[in-house]
Amino acid sequence: MANPVRKGLSNILKKEANDIVILSSLRTPITRSYKGHLKDAYPEELLATVLRATLDANPNLDPALIQDVGVGVVLSELGGSKAGRMAMNHIGMPTTTSFYTVNRACSSGLSAITNVSHQIAMGMINVGIGAGMESMTRNYGSKAIPTVLWPELKKSEVKDARDCIMPMGLTSENVAERYGVNRADQDAFAVASHQKALKAQQEGWFDKEIVPVHTQYQEVDKKGEKVGDVQQVTVTKDDGIRANASIEGMQKLKPAFKENGTSTAGNSSQISDGAAATLLMRRSTATELGLTSSIIGRWAGTQVAGCRPDEMGIGPAIAIPKLLEYTGLKTEDVGLWEINEAFASQAIYCLRELGLEKRLEEGRVNPKGGAIALGHPLGATGARMLAGLLPEMERQGLETGVVSMCIGTGMGMAGLFVRE
């Protein structure tokens, strides 16, 4: 079977029968953990919503033809595999469709999409869904640090082993200190993320990617006490965007992770709840099924790279060059960039290292804001980013886009996508 990953822009833009094409890429709203309107939803409930929306968006596809569903999830009990499978069957997908979850920390959603793409490329399946789900409200009690761990690892003589459980905020401080990213630049970056996200929301630029969630919501006060009765709500918008974000406001925030540090609650990503899903198939399968008019894009390759755990935020700066080499592209061949804003410190460093500062000014990097404004529901983020990338590529008339993120324990991942 021919390799669907091709080298060089002209070859990548050609349409071939073995392409891994995308028919839909959708997400729920991303809302603030503990405070937002999805705080009482279950992760599998959010997954069910976006899987049902995927079927509804593709009414001419028999659900029985979807052979496998891979879902990125980081925090759920048992890796989310049982609850996720239940949710898949609950919304009408048959038992003949198989299911699995994947955990590569912050890149889990992109990993799931990549895994399904690889399954199709190798002929293992013809049609699949790559997705992600996370409720950090329900499952972030340990702050994503293992509570039961082999004691030998905690006292390992290998620093990189010990550093795998370093709190993410401290890795952000390391990046800022080692690579000269100051507090003022981080605060300005954070304000810009909110401003871009606010404009995108007001202009309706998120509308194509978001599906509503019907769920229950219990209002609570600042002490966590219940206020009123449980409400049935329909959530349609991201709620972490701060319309009043300002440099002055950011400057008032104290360092969140280290005394005299530069990373704050304001210039770091929000902990959030949400889900997303992408429907993929081989182009020849889409042709056989009469679905070519539904193709909106295609997967064109993914790469992952490792780095020191104590500066995991530099991940995109090493994964993206590896992806460009793998696909035979130059930086200027990529039209749009979605680089996860785990922390302003690492996002700024990566943009500088990759030479993307001008692209940022031109609205070609995170033009609708990023995780600082929208949130970072760990297992869902990669899939959320793709759901945002494709309609933005359409809006700007761009052909190629990259999704990339840093990964806890010291990695980076980057995926290349083409719009059709």
pLDDT attached to residue 3: 83
Q: HSE of 309 in the Cβ direction (CA atoms, 13 Å)?
A: 13
187-220 confidence digits (pLDDT tens) = 999 999 999 999 999 999 999 999 999 999 999 9
Q: Tokens 């890429």 sit at which residue?
A: 25
**pLDDT over 70 for what percent of the chain?**
100
State the catalytic residue, choosing from 106, 164, 307, 350: 106
State the catalytic residue, choosing from 164, 307, 350, 406: 406
Q: Is 106 a catalytic residue?
A: yes
In the structure encoding, which two tokens stand for residue 269, read together? 């990503």
Q: What is the DSSP letter of 303?
A: E
In the structure encoding, which two tokens stand for residue 321, read together? 């060059």
pLDDT attached to residue 130: 99
Among 307, 343, 291, residue whose Cα is nearest residue 60:
291
Asked whether the beta carbons of 99 and 69 are under 8 A apart, the reply is: yes
pLDDT of residue 274 exceeding 70, the answer is: yes
62-77 confidence digits (pLDDT tens) = 999 999 999 999 999 9
pLDDT attached to residue 142: 86
Mean pLDDT, rounded, for 29-53: 97
pLDDT of residue 1 exceeding 70, the answer is: no
| Average pLDDT over all residues of the chain | 97
Distances (CA, A) of 286 to 203, 248, 300: 33, 52, 17
285-342 confidence digits (pLDDT tens) = 999 999 999 999 999 999 999 999 999 999 999 999 999 999 999 999 999 999 999 9
Predicted model pTM? 0.97
Q: Which amino acid is at 220?
A: V
pLDDT of residue 182 exceeding 90, the answer is: yes
Q: What is the DSSP letter of 356?
A: -
Q: What is the DSSP letter of 398?
A: -
Distances (CA, A) of 390 to 48, 56, 111, 331: 22, 19, 17, 19
